[in-house]
Structure 1
Amino acid sequence: MKTVVVGAGPTGLLLAGDLAAAGVEVTVLERRTGESNLTRAFGVHARTLEVLDARGLADELVATGTVVSRLRLFNRVRVDLGVLPSRFPYVLITPQYNVEKLLERRALDRGARILRGVTVTGLRDGAVLAGEETYEADFVVGADGVHSAVREALGMPFPGKAVLRSIMLADVRLTDAPVDVLAVNSVGDAFAFVAPFGDGWFRIFAWDRLAQQPDTAPLTLDEVRAVTLRALGTDFGMREARFLSRFHSDERQVPAYRKGSVFLAGDAAHVHSPAGGQGMNTGLQDAANLSWKLAAVAQGWAPAGLLDSYDSERHPVGELVLRSSGGLIRLAMLHSRASRAGRDLLGGALLRVPAVMRRAAGTVSGIGIGYPDAPRQPDVLLSQGSRMYELLRAGRHVLTGPSVPAGYEDRLVHAAADRFVLVRPDGYIAWTGTEGELPVALRRHLGPPR
C-alpha cells in the first residue's frame, strides 16, 4: 500500500514516521525547499509529550526547551498544570522547528521518503499531481496547512470567520526576561504575550485595537515595543528583532476529515486562535489517531469502519479546541475595565476549586480529552519495570492481563497483569473486561487471529 502525505510540518512528519515504522511505503511532498525557524508554534502540551513518549522522542525534546508548570492567563487567573495525571505535568516551551527536526529524523530513519520543492496541483483517482509529476497513492493525507492544496483539490469547504485581525508577530531579544517565563495580559485596547525560545530570542504576540492594519502592512520594532509596554507595563528592554510580521487569526473547520481515500489533518482540517497554544498539538494528535488505522489497513487486519472512526473521533476534538481557544481569545479581548475585572475575579475564584482547575488544565493540555468509547490510558508501571508508553513504542496494541490468545503476536504487545486492558497504539483504551470476553474483544478490535 502506498501513502502520500502532503506537508512536512509536525503533523505530516509524525504520520509519515508512524507509517514507515509499520512497513507502509510513504512519500511526503513539501512545497518548501528549506527549513525555517520562524514558526508560530512553541508550546508542546502534556498529551502531545505523551504521544512523543510513545515514540521515544519526548525526553530528547524536553531537553531542548523550558518547562512551565503554571500558566498566568490574566492578572488573577492561574492554571496549575502540576495537577495533571501525567509524566509531563507542564507545557514545554520549545520552537516548532525542534519538534520537526526530531520527527523528520525519525521518519527518515524508518524509511519514509521526503521530497521538498514539490507543489501539489491536484488529485486524480489514485494519484497526487504536482505539475508534470504524478505520485501514485492508495491513500492521501493532506497535512499541508491552512491553505491546503489537498483540501482545495477535494472541493472541500472551510467554513468559519476571522476572529482577530492585525496580530503582530515578532522574534526579539530582551534585556530583562519575564519573571514568570511566560508573560501575558490585556488591557482592553492592547494585548501582548511573551515566551522564550531558550536561545536568547523571545516570541512576541501583540495586538492593538486602535491600530488595525492589513497583514501586508510593514511592522516596526517600535510598534511592537509600544503595544507590549501598554499591555504588560514593561517592554523588557526590547532591543533587536530578527523577524517582524502581521497575521490574522481564523476559526475554521472542514465538515469532514475524510473523503474517500483522502484525509485531512492539522491546520488543513481546522484552524483557530493561538490562545492556549493548541494548534500544533491538535495536529500531532490527529496524526497519532490516523496513522495506526492506516497501518492496520496496510497490514490487512483492520476491522470494518476503522478508517471512518478517524473523523468520528477527531472532528469533535477539533470543535472543542475551536470553542476553548475561541473562548480564551475573546476573554483576552474584553474591552471595558469592568468586564476585565469581572473576568479576573470570577476566573481566579473558579480556578481555586480543585475540580475546576483539573478540568481547565486537562482541556488545555489535552490530558482530559478522550473519545466516547476510548478514554485516555495513563502511563503506568507494568511488569518487569516497563512503562505503558514504553511498550507503545512498538506501534502496536498493548494487552495487559494474565494471558493472551495465540495468533495476535503481530498486532499485540503483552504485559502480565491481574486485569485485562487493551490499549490502542495511540494510547487510548479500546477495551477492558474478563478472560471469557477477551477472544470476542480481540476479534472486534484486531480482526481474526492469524
Structure 2
Amino acid sequence: MSRTTGSTSSAHATGPATSPATGPAADPARAVDTDVIVVGAGPTGLLLAGDLAASGHSVTLVERRSGETSNLTRALVVHARTLEQLDARGLAEELIAVGHPVDRLRLFGHATLDPTRLPTRFPFVLVTPQFQVERLLEARARKAGVVFRHGAKVTALRQDAEGAEVDLDEGASGVSTLRGRYLVGTDGVHSTIREALGLPFPGKSVIRSIVLADVRLSDPPASPFAVAATDRAFALAAPFGDGWYRVMGWSRDRQLPDGEPVELDEVKDFTRRALGTDFGMHDPRWMSRFHSDERQAPSYRVGRAFLAGDAAHVHSPAGGQGMNTGLQDAANLSWKLSMVLQGRSPESLLDTYETERHPVGKQVLRSSGAIIRLAIMTAPGSALLRTLTAGAVNRIRPLGRRAMRTISGLSFAYATPDGAHPLAGKRAPDLALASGRLYEALREGRFVLVTPRGSIRAREEDPRVVHAEYARGGKHTLLIRPDGHIAWAADGEPTAAALRQALTAWTGPETTA
C-alpha cells in the first residue's frame, strides 16, 4: 500500500531531538496536555484543528494574534477542489452563500479559463475574502471543541520520541509550556515553527511592490471579479459583499519597497491602466504594499512536527492557488494524524503526507510562477508571446481545460505503488450513491466503501468504514479516503480475502478500538 512504502529519512527520525534544528530534547516524563498542537489560526490551521477535534482528539490552537480574525487578508478565491473538501464537512453551501460564483477566470491579457465544464458539483470560481473562510472554519473548530490560545507567541520548540512541546509567551499571563503528541506549524510565510525546526525556505521574490487596497466604488464593475493585465500593469477588483471592494494590482513604473506608503492615486493609476477605469474608487479604509515570493521547505516533517500551508510553501498570487493549496494540505494530514492517534495505522502513514503534498506544492509553484512571469515579462517579443499563448488557451479547448483543472486542484493525484489499480490515488468525483452523494457520506470523517448494487459485502456491517452502493451503473469497488482520494480499487466485486486485506491495510484490524 502506498501509505507504508516510503522510507523514513533522518529528517523524519522520531528519536530524541538533540540537534540544533530542534533544540534540546523535551522531557518525556512530562504529561501530555493535548493530542495535537496547531500553531497558526489561518485557514489551514483552522481546518486541520477542526478535523482532528471532530474526530474526537484534543487539539490546542495557538495564535499570536490577540483579537478577532482580521478582514485585511489577501486571498480572494476558493477553487472547486477546496469547495469539495468543504462539502465533505457540510460547509460549502454556507460559504457559497456569502461569496460570488464566477464562470470565467482571467489570467493575463485576454487569456480566459472556463470552469463551467469542470467535472465537479462546483463548476465555478468562488470569489470570497479569506476572512469569510476563516470565520466559517473557526466556528466549526470551536463547536468541535478546539481550545484556542490567542495572544500566545511560540518562543521554543522541543521534541522527543513521544511528543513535542513549545514554550509560549502569553504577555501579561506569563510564560507556559504546552506538550502534545504531535505539532503542526501553520503559521505562515514567516513561520516560527519552521525556523525552530532549522528548515531552510529556499526560493526568491518573483514580483515586488504589489498593492492591496480596500475601497468603496462609485461605479462598480458589472462582473463580481474584474481582472486584466497589460505590459505595464495588472489589476483586479472583487467585492466583499458589504459595499467594500478589494483592489489588488501592480505597476511596472512604480516599484517601491514594501514599507513605502500607498496613496489612493497610485491604486487608481494601475487600475485605469489595466482595466480602463478606476470605478470611481474612494474612501480607502486600508492600503498596503507587499512582495510575492516563491519558496518551499525541503521537508514538511521533522520528527513529530509538521508544516502546512504558507509555512511549507508560498507562491505567486496568479491563479489564486495559495490558500487553496494550504487547505488541501490540511485535509491530507488531518485524517492521517487521526488514524495514527487512534492506533489504527502505523507511524509510517505520516510520512506519506510529505510524499503526497510536497510534489503538489512544487507543481503549484511552477504553474503560478509561469502565469506571473508571462504576464510581466519585458523581453523582446513578449507581447506577441502573451497574445499567442492567450489565443492558444482560448482556442484549444483541451489546453484550456487542462489548465483550469490544474488551477482548480481537481487534477492532482497521488503516486501509488507498482501494480495498484489505475484509479488508486486519484480524486474521487462526487458519486451518486443509493443513500445520497459521496461527499455527504464523507462527512462522517471515515473511509467510504463504495460497491456495485446488490453486493453482499456492501450490506455487511464494519465500523471501520461507511458502506454505500452506487445509485446506478457503478462497476468498481472503491475504498475512498476521508480526503476524497481513492485509496484502493477493484474491478467489480473483489474476493472476500482481497477486500479484507485492503480494509486492514488502510483502516486497521477490525478489532482495533
- Structure-2-length-normalised TM-score: 0.85
Work out whether residues 450 and 458 of structure 2, in 8 Å CA contact, stay in contact via their aligned partners in 1: no
Partner of 1:341: 384
Contact 2:185 2:193 in 1 (8 A): yes
2:488 partner amino acid: W
Q: Select the residue among 425, 428, 434 that pairs with 1:383.
A: 434
Q: Which amino acid aligns with 1:421?
A: L
Instruction: Report the Cα distance in structure 2 between the residues aligned to 1:363 and 1:304, rounded to whole angstroms.
Output: 31
The structural deviation recorded for 1:228 is 1.2
Secondary structure of 2:267's aligned partner: helix
Q: Return the letter of the residue paired with 1:63.
A: A
Task: Provide Cα deviations, 1:299-326, integer angstroms capped at 9, x if missing partner.
Answer: 1101452100000000000001100111
Please, which of 16, 34, 46 is the counterpart of residue 49 of structure 2?
16
Deviation at 1:52, TM superposition (A): 0.2
Whole-Å Cα distance in 1 between the matches of residues 141 and 154 of structure 2? 21
Structure 2, unaligned runs of 5 or more: 1-33, 170-174, 417-424
Q: What is aligned with 2:479?
A: 422
Asked if 2 retains the 8 angstrom alpha-carbon contact of 1:78 and 1:348, the reply is no
1:162 aligned residue? 205
Q: Which amino acid in 2 is paired with 1:411?
A: R
My pick for the range that moved more, 183-192 or 73-82, is 183-192
Is the aligned partner of 1:439 residue 2:500?
Answer: yes
In the alignment, is the contact (CA less than 8 A) between 2:392 and 2:399 conserved in 1?
Answer: no
Distance 2:129 2:464 in 1: 35
Separation in 1 of the partners of 2:142 and 2:88?
Answer: 18
Q: Once structures 1 and 2 are overlaid, which stretch shifts more, 183-192 or 320-329?
A: 183-192
Structure possessing the higher radius of gyration over alpha carbons:
2
Identity of aligned residues (%): 57
Contact 2:109/2:390 (CA < 8 Å) preserved in 1? no
**Residue range with higher mean Cα deviation, 50-59 or 220-229:** 220-229
Counterpart mapping for 1:107-186 below 5 A: 107-125=141-159, 126-131=164-169, 132-186=175-229
User: In structure 1, what residue type is equivalent to 2:53?
Assistant: A
What does 1:205-244 correspond to in 2, within 5 Å? 205-244=248-287
Instruction: Report the more deviating stretch, 254-263 or 228-237.
Output: 228-237
Q: What residue identity is the alignment partner of 1:78?
A: T
Question: For residues 259 and 347 of structure 2, what CA distance do their matches in structure 1 show?
Answer: 49
Q: Is the 8 A contact 2:211 2:267 kept in 1?
A: yes
Q: Distance in 2 between matches of 1:303 and 1:421?
A: 22
- Give the match for residue 463 of structure 2: 410
Deviates more, 1:285-294 or 1:225-234: 225-234
Question: Structure 1's 254 and 345: CA in aligned 2 closer, same or farther, altered over 3 A?
Answer: same
**Contact 1:42–1:197 (CA<8 Å) still a contact in 2?**
no
Residue type matched to 1:101 in 2?
R
Matches within 5 A, 1:303-382: 303=346, 305-335=348-378, 338-373=381-416, 374-382=425-433
1:269 corresponds, among 312, 321, 329, to 312
Give 1:69 shift: 1.3
For 2:309 and 2:221, how far apart are their aligned partners in 1?
Answer: 31
Q: Is the 8 A contact 1:251 1:271 kept in 2?
A: yes
Q: Would the alpha carbon gap of residues 186 and 363 (structure 1) be closer, same or farther in structure 2, given more than 3 Å must change?
A: same
Q: Would you say the 8 A contact 1:74–1:344 is kept in 2?
A: no
Normalising by the residue count of structure 1, what TM-score does the alignment of the two structures yield?
0.96
Structure 2 Cα separation of the partners of residues 350 and 246 of structure 1: 31
Q: Which stretch of structure 1 is more off in the superposition, 233-242 or 150-159?
A: 233-242
Distance 1:73 1:420 in 2: 39
Aligned to 1:393: 443
Specify the code of the residue in structure 2 equivalent to 1:446. Answer: T
- Within the candidate set 289, 302, 309, 1:259 is matched to 302
Distance 1:73 1:406, change over 3 A: closer
| Number of the residue aligned with 1:194 | 237
CA RMSD across the alignment: 1.7
Q: CA deviation at 1:342?
A: 2.9
Offset at residue 405 of structure 1 (A): 8.5
